[in-house]
Structure 1
Amino acid sequence: MKIIYHCFGGSHSSVTAAAIHVGLLSSSAIPRGDQLMQVPYFDGQEKEDHGEFKYIGTDEFGNQVYVVGKRNLGEMFEPMMYGIGRLYGVSGKDVILVDTMPYVNWMMVVGGFLSRRLGLVRLGRPLVIWGTQQAFANFANMVETLKTKLRSGQVMAQ
């Protein structure tokens, strides 16, 4: 199965959740800034990377975990992705899409905009790191909920 975490830019919330999922970040402790920066793609995606699926790792169940930035697709992203999958004969049971946007706070939005969009990394990165640390428990809980469902076979993909 493939698990795809998605957010606006594929640089912060989806990357953080995917890193928790595959064990690059511990779910039991808020990471330091340097630990976040060691996660592949954290605060590193560029505009032209949006829409590209980036492999993060494989979880303990053998599922491949990816991230993607969806830009302005918002709620249209998941139905579109499942629809494309059906066109190519990919069962919804083979893919789980996880939207991390509900847990993104204003510090992550502003910091991400400054760092990734405007290129003001020295201003934006500390803010997005702080915002990610503030939201970290939400990302960890989201991942743990998904893993609990995976363990019990309750995951309802499209």
Structure 2
Amino acid sequence: MIFFAQTNSAGLLEQIVFPLFLLWFVGLTLVLLRNDIEVIWKVAIFFVFVFYFFQFFPELKESYERLTRSYPAEILNWVYGIPRAFYFFLLFFWPIAVFRMFYSASPFLANSTAKVLLGFTLVYWILFLGYHQFSVPIDEFLKTKFVDWITVVPPK
């Protein structure tokens, strides 16, 4: 199976750990600001985040160091890593969702789960096939124009 290209030899986790935790931190902050969630759940969610933060601290530190050394290359690494991670998420989530749809007491919840998951899967495969068909120009664009666009040149 061919996945989206990977720009370095880092594993998938090392490739996307920083944007994943950044997204998680933003989501955690939004949850902590909600008034209708009980404090006990906010504390529990916060401690789950802290546990995983310390669990993956070496990978986060290395990813941050790569980001500060060469942020265009690291962001490009994220662009290639996130679709690969989404593929594995779908691979992992589909069997769970099928059982959840079967045991759901609500036909609406079962149908909406199927629609949403099928929609995400179809969008992923359409993008994957598009990338596979046009990988050379897409890679060329990402490695030249995209990197030039995100590179900030300090004024002289």
TM-score by length of 1: 0.29
Structure with the higher strand share, 1 or 2: 1
Name the larger-Rg structure.
Answer: 2
TM-score by length of 2: 0.29
